[in-house]
Copies of this chain bind each other. A is one copy, B any other.
Amino acid sequence: MVDDYRVTPWQVEGEVDYERLVREFGTQKIDENLKASISSLTGELHVLIRRGVFFSHRDLDLVLKDYRDGKGFFLYTGRGPSKAMHIGHLLPFVFTKWLQDKFGVNLYVEVTDDEKFLTNQGVTLDEARSWARENILDIIAVGFDPDKTFIFQDTEYIRNMYPRALEISKKLNFSEVKSVFGFEGSANIGWIFYPAIQMVPTMFERKRCLIPSGIDQDPYWRLQRDIAESLGYPKAAQIQSRFLPPLTGISGKMSASQPETAVYLNDDPNTVRKKIMRYAFSGGQSTVELHRKLGGDPWVDIPFIWLYYFFEDDDSKIRKVEEDYRSGRMLTGELKELLTEKLNGFLGNHAVRREEATSKIDVYKFTGKLAQKMWSTVFD
């Protein structure tokens, strides 16, 4: 069987078959029962889980049980810092904030400047670290609880994590990481060790850890689940997302090296409009006449898919957009206009909050209640 797509923590190519990925990775789909369990605790369901962007999980049922039983849990997610974050990078954080708000739990955000440096030949450590600062501003802008959130960069927080990383690394041999990540002999030795670093935060508390992230990160958590209990910690639970498809069509992932595939958090309103009008793949017909007659196909149409996945939260409104587009009542240009307005509204609000974030970096990294506690803790 020929692979027509490829998903690793460093590479997403082709049109991902998510059904098959769930089978191959051995995760569970988030079914209606589980959605009902969540909304019985939260009162509502976030659009990103309601519409299936977060679609896969491991032990989410056990996390909810721990919560109901009063044991609690904690959240952990991360960011490999890069030059500019696009909208697809931000959505997991938006969802994570919703989880923190609803459950009132601690959140740890690992900014992996070490991994970004090790896995990219052309990136210097200085670059990775200055991107870390930029990305942290975008993350803070999402609005996490400043006393229940700790944002840290690996190269800064390593002293506190290193003993635990050693404990983890002693349990993982080269053959094991090779089989999960596909490392070759050409992999540098920092990259080979790095998985131990990414696993440390899953053991920051004795509670169960819930990790909201893209499903591409799954190999790390498979390894964590192999060894966590032998170190006295629960297996990490996950809630995993599919990728917001690139503007250019449903294959692959938005890419920093192809600016037309993505909308960046700092794109100005005109740039956003141009990108959507020019590059967004349309499911409409080639002429207005044909479109009016035959209608469009919303499920290959990127403006519709983006609205559906996140930007049009209202269920009755998105249903009407789908019907109007499919019937030909709504034209491609109108659909693109709708997304442009929603996106620019979202990005405008984000820009304001990012501006305010500059003065809050120290709180999330050092002086907030959770941050202070973390700097006085060495994990060994």
Contact = CB atoms under 8 A, between A and B. Distances in A.
Nearest to A185: B175
A371 to B, nearest CB: 16
A318 interface: no
Contacts of A170: 117-118, 188, 190-191
Contact of A174 (B162, B163, B174): B174
Contacts of A190: 165-166, 169-170, 193, 196
A189 B166 contact: no
A174 B380 CA distance: 27
A174 B156 contact: no
A352 B162 CA distance: 35
Nearest to A174: B185
A301 B238 CA distance: 65
Contacts of A178: 185
Interface of A: 114, 117-118, 125-126, 155-156, 158-159, 162-163, 165-167, 169-175, 177-178, 183-193, 195-196, 380
Given A125-B163, A174-B192, 9 more contacts: A114-B162, A155-B162, A156-B159, A158-B159, A170-B188, A173-B186, A174-B186, A178-B185, A192-B193
12 contacts: A125-B380, A155-B380, A158-B158, A169-B189, A169-B190, A171-B188, A172-B188, A173-B189, A174-B185, A177-B189, A189-B195, A192-B193
